[in-house]
Structure 1
Amino acid sequence: MTSYTNEAPDDLQVFLNKLKLYLDKAYSKPDKEKLKRLLASAKIDIQKTGRWGSIHAHAEAKVVFYVLYKNLELITPGVKENLKNITYQMLQAENCGLEVTDLEFFPVASPENVSVEEELMETIEAAKQVTNGINLPAELIAKGKEMSEAYLYIYFVENALRLFIEKIQGQKPLDFPRDVTRTIEKNKNNEAQSRFLPLRGNSDLFYCDFVQLQQIIVHNWEYFKEYFPQQDQHWLRVKIEDMYRVRNLIAHCGYISKEELQMIKSNFKMILRQLKFQDNDKDGF
């Protein structure tokens, strides 16, 4: 006579690995690949309900799977029922004496060790059945990586300028141009109507556009001129407007040339050098 523990396995991760191995080596139903993808990077928890099940000497239990958010779409009634049966069979093999009466699924973020490229390729592969035969060329991945590199430089410069202006604002009475003030008010109102969006920041500077940052600097040039070569407004205006043009191109899914990418990197270095964003800057930012 089998003696059941009526408890979950001591090591749930080991149990989950056995479950995955069974799916890979022994399971043969049509939803095999769906189940394997569903449990990729998943975690498991087994919770007893405190009641006895309908099977003799078995305690009721609910099994909770924590799965990648993008994989939630794989869950259908059939997939859920099959996974429930498999999990029960594996618990039987462990002599746990638990009757699985329910499955629950909770989303989790992608693991940190999964690169954006890997996750993107996996998502594209999974979506082939719903893209109506549209072939997504591999070069889109390569171009996307190049554009993300360019945007990273722009993102850093844009927010470094905000911090720089904010620092000067703490020392001098800055005045914002009227169109900049209107943009700030507009963006604040839009954000107030979309509560699900995160706040941009606790400074008005985070509610104006990238190109407007140089407008603020030029409008208050008497406080900023000492930070720029030959106290030349044109030097800053040209560099920011060039980067802003590329920023908009990327934001609208455009593709920039290698020369434009090199320009972004060059402007990045020159602007930060002028703002004294170095480790030895005694004031710091």
Structure 2
Amino acid sequence: MSEFTYELPFSNEKLLQGILIELKRINKNEILPSLTASKVSIDDLGTSYYVDRSGRWNARGVKVKFYVNPNSIEALSKDEYRSIIFEICSNLIPGEVGYDIKEIAFVPDLNIDIDSHEDIIVELENQINQSTSDILPKILPAEIRDKGREMAELYSFLYSIENSLRMFFEIVATEKYGTDYINKISIPRSLEKTVSSRKESAANKKWLSIRGDSDLFYLDFKDLGTLINNNWTLFEKYFPNQNFILSKLDEMADIRNLIAHNSYVSKVERELVRTYYNSILKQIESKFK
């Protein structure tokens, strides 16, 4: 009977998470963009490799395979990076599992959205790593790049909740007034001017993508809060009270403006957005059940 379990005490996703944490701990942040959106698997190579006496008796040789953005393959293939990741994997997998890591491999994930912000970050990191000049590392130090990744993640939350609220508003208003709801709901004159001004600006800048096919896409967090407040009878059954939703939208609008002006948002504020994101979605999810 074998002394080994041949089974990880955690999921492959947890293994990847541990690898990312270790890379941060040893300040190898330049590797992070290439692995953050990846997937990992462990392929059993069997016990045949023991003929060269390179492993423990009755352990199994494995290959740790990373499915990554195709644009990251070249960067990750550096001997230095491969060696670092190999060592981290070896340290994270408990000895009693009975896996001897024989190799690691990086293969392209063909299902990944190569237009994602992760792809842009990877490209930037590769440019810096491959630059023969010392200018880029000076004007784009690791600290700035790390903060950029944090802001990209936060923007994803804000983008999601803002557009979720737009869609939620449209669904509720359409049920009440029909597809012509925009002409029947209560819209303050100031917001009408905002929509009109932003539409005119968009029309004059034809090289930019349009915001959307609804007037709601020309309104931001605080504007949506005002619109919800002015049509409260439509939304009162979804929220405990007006302050519940309006105060959160106001705070997220301020945080959104900081990101829009390339300012840094602290961890406390980022966690606040996560909390608001979850609490608002829980309130409105009943509409979609």
**TM class, shorter-length:** 0.5 to 0.7
User: Aligned partners of 2:198 and 2:188: how far apart in 1?
Assistant: 16
- 1:1-285 equivalences in 2 (<5 Å): 115-125=119-129, 129=133, 131=135, 134-172=138-176, 173-229=184-240, 232-276=241-285, 281-282=288-289
Change (3 A) 1:175 1:115: same
- Name the SS of the counterpart of 2:175 in structure 1: coil
Which has the larger Rg? 1
> Is the 2:222–2:250 Cα contact (8 Å) retained in structure 1?
yes
Structure 1 residues 225 and 128: CA distance shift in structure 2, 3 A:
farther
What is the distance in 1 between the residues matched to 2:127 and 2:217? 33
Looking at structure 2, the residues matched to 179 and 137 of structure 1 have their Cα atoms a distance apart, in angstroms, of 43
Structure ranking higher in helix proportion = 2
Deviations 1:33-67 (A, max 9, x none): xxxxxxxxxxxxxxxxxxxxxxxxxxxxxxxxxxx
Contact 2:128 2:137 in 1 (8 A): no
- Computed over aligned residues only, the root mean square deviation of the Cα atoms, in angstroms, reads 2.6
* AA matched with 2:194: T
Structure 1 residue 175: Cα displacement: 1.6
Q: String of CA shifts for 1:164-223, please: whole Å, max 9, x gaps.
A: 111122123312111111110001101111111112111000011221001000001111
Unaligned runs of 5+ in 1: 1-67, 69-109
Q: Which runs of 5+ in 2 are unaligned?
A: 1-70, 72-112, 177-183
Deviation at 1:154, TM superposition (A): 0.7
Letter of the aligned partner of 2:231 in structure 1? N
Of all paired residues, the percent bearing the same amino acid is 36
| Count of residue correspondences | 170
Q: Name which of structure 1's ranges 196-205 and 130-139 shifts more when overlaid on structure 2.
A: 130-139
The one-letter amino acid of 2:188's match is P
Measured in 2, the distance between the counterparts of 1:265 and 1:147 equals 13
Q: For residue 277 of structure 1, report the CA deviation from its aligned partner.
A: 6.5
Is contact 2:186–2:227 with CA below 8 Å preserved after alignment? Answer: yes
TM-score (norm 2): 0.54
